[in-house]
Structure 1
């Protein structure tokens, strides 16, 4: 018989879930997930677009509750599906009140699901779109640190709202560049994994004023619930781990990351 899992902590100060995929959650009805998310005092949730197939679904989900927000963008895995029509759809809905960022965009050389040259072109096009919309961006970068830095350098003066490099697992070089340029780094359940010392090292070097909390649900479920589908309501465990790694009181982490989230995603209100 497995051990009873520890109850999810509930903090007095609210949390903001800055990165999940509500349309991918399958193990529980969405209504139940949202109820539990509110029970543990998560005040706002950002659900992330990744492909032409879910742009509209993300927009629909933002209408499910006043506290659900979304993004519009194409993940590097689907860069080869990026067309002028897709770009026009993202541009049109970047004006929507409930759309808080362009994302999830970037480069992924680990899986190489799309040609790398195409990934770079699509990354640039979406960064330019974010500049035009005056929106922050949500960036995915895996095994592509140098090219991510080189492309971001092209937009240093025109991208007035930075955003976040989410699920940060890259090296200290990309971390230092991003932090120096005013980006936030997003951390999730990976920080709780036994072998993730590299991620905890980045958390230690990241100022608390530039950390965002996320789950990336349904992926990357934190300890002690690994093996289950992830969900936004597990984000308190990420807050606890960040506090432990940085030697801070968890209340300070919760309060500061809340402020960071609202500063980064200005449409959250």
Structure 2
């Protein structure tokens, strides 16, 4: 007999999904996913751009509801598709009302789907877009800790709004540099995986004031729903795990990460 999965918890205080890919969800109709997301008291959702062919799609999705938002940027996997026309499109929409950040940008030396020098150039060019438009940044860094730090150091003075290193799986060196510079670290379902003690170690070292909650859906589905497609409505499991790992009251984690998300992506004028 299969073990019954827990119901998704619903918190009294709202939470914010800071990183997912709504246009990549396949398991159920989008309208159904969004309805379930609202049912678990997720107040806002940020869907993330990664490639030239989904920049416009993210903008369309963010216009579907008042509580949906998006980003504009090119993932390091797609760095070789970046050109002047793509940059012009990102720049043209970087300050749209429903676009809250430049991202997902960065370096990925694990898969090496794009030339490393090209990744670095595209990373720099998009960081400059964020600087020029006073936007926070959503960063992807995998197996590239030293290079990520080196490039971010180039922008320490000009990038006034930091953002997040999302789906953090890097080492303590990058974590400490990021935290010292005022960046947030984004954590998702990986925190619930049995073999992810290295990620939980970073959760322990990060101040709760610099942690953001995310799912990265449709990827990285948290326990107890591993094996199913991830979705924003599984975010409460991430919040619970962060509270457990840090030894903090769940309500403290929910309220603080909510305010962290507002401060980062929805600052009061």
Q: TM-score category by the smaller chain?
A: over 0.9
The corresponding residue for 1:143 is: 143
Q: How does 1:155-166 map to 2 (within 5 A)?
A: 155-166=155-166
Question: Is the CA contact 1:98–1:267 (under 8 Å) kept in the aligned structure 2?
Answer: no
Q: Deviations over 1:23-46 (max 9, x none)?
A: 000000000000000000000000
Point out the more displaced range, 229-238 or 259-268.
Answer: 259-268
Offset at residue 268 of structure 1 (A)? 8.7
Q: How does 1:86-235 map to 2 (within 5 A)?
A: 86-235=86-235
Which stretches in structure 2 are left out of the alignment for 5+ residues?
Answer: none
Runs of 4+ with >4 A deviation? none
Query: In the aligned structure 2, how far is the partner of 1:122 from the partner of 1:24?
Result: 23
Query: In the aligned structure 1, how far is the partner of 2:240 from the partner of 2:138?
Result: 23
Q: Deviations over 1:174-232 (max 9, x none)?
A: 00000000000000000000000000000000000000000000000000000000000
Offset at residue 56 of structure 1 (A)? 0.3
Query: In the aligned structure 1, how far is the partner of 2:35 from the partner of 2:266?
Result: 25
Query: In the aligned structure 2, how far is the partner of 1:31 from the partner of 1:254?
Result: 25
Offset at residue 4 of structure 1 (A)? 1.4
Point out the more displaced range, 259-268 or 23-32.
Answer: 259-268
Q: Deviations over 1:93-146 (max 9, x none)?
A: 012000000000000000000000000000000000000010000000000000
Q: Deviations over 1:234-268 (max 9, x none)?
A: 00000000000000011110000000000000269
Query: In the aligned structure 2, how far is the partner of 1:31 from the partner of 1:9?
Result: 21
Question: Is the CA contact 1:204–1:245 (under 8 Å) kept in the aligned structure 2?
Answer: yes
Question: Is the CA contact 1:69–1:268 (under 8 Å) kept in the aligned structure 2?
Answer: no
Aligned length: 269
Question: Is the CA contact 1:73–1:105 (under 8 Å) kept in the aligned structure 2?
Answer: yes
Query: In the aligned structure 1, how far is the partner of 2:41 from the partner of 2:2?
Result: 28
Return closer, same or farther for 1:183/1:238 CA change in 2, 3 Å cut-off.
same
Calculate the TM-score normalised by the size of structure 2: 0.99
Q: Secondary structure at the match of 1:45?
A: strand
Query: In the aligned structure 2, how far is the partner of 1:158 from the partner of 1:65?
Result: 33
Query: In the aligned structure 2, how far is the partner of 1:64 from the partner of 1:4?
Result: 34
Instruction: Give RMSD over aligned pairs.
Output: 0.9
Query: In the aligned structure 2, how far is the partner of 1:34 from the partner of 1:135?
Result: 26
Which stretches in structure 1 are left out of the alignment for 5+ residues?
Answer: none
Query: In the aligned structure 1, how far is the partner of 2:97 from the partner of 2:64?
Result: 14
Query: In the aligned structure 2, how far is the partner of 1:95 from the partner of 1:185?
Result: 23
The corresponding residue for 2:35 is: 35
The corresponding residue for 1:85 is: 85
Query: In the aligned structure 1, how far is the partner of 2:244 from the partner of 2:13?
Result: 18
Calculate the TM-score normalised by the size of structure 1: 0.99
Q: Deviations over 1:66-96 (max 9, x none)?
A: 0000000000000000000000000000120
Return closer, same or farther for 1:128/1:138 CA change in 2, 3 Å cut-off.
same
Question: Is the CA contact 1:97–1:267 (under 8 Å) kept in the aligned structure 2?
Answer: no
